[in-house]
Amino acid sequence: FREYIVDRCVFNSSELKDIEYIRSTFYNKLELYRFSSSLGKFVGYTEYGVKQANYFNSQASILQSMKASRETYCLNNVGNEYRAA
């Protein structure tokens, strides 16, 4: 592996308030940083990841886009999962 990004939704119900959107960025299987909608910001896990998280957290447009991803990415897919079950 090299670099890859994983988007996921963690949920207990189909209500938006119960859904957490997480986007993690990895390099060689090591998580560098992630955005968590429950925190509303990026968190770094390595020296490089902390620098990236600080930069992304200083960019209001990036944070707004990531916060909106919870509704656009998760809400529809979670509803599909509940209907399928």
Report the CATH number at residue 66. Answer: 3.10.320.10
pLDDT tens by residue, 15-31: 767 889 999 999 999 99
Tell me the whole-structure pTM to 2 decimals.
0.85
- Kindly state the tokens that stand for 36: 């968590």
**Number of domains the chain is built from:** 1
The fraction of the chain above a pLDDT of 70, given in percent, is: 89
Rounded Cα distance, 32 and 19, in Å: 23
Which of 43, 51, 50, 3 is closest to 22 using CA atoms?
43
Write out the residue range of the structural domain in which residue 34 sits: 3-84
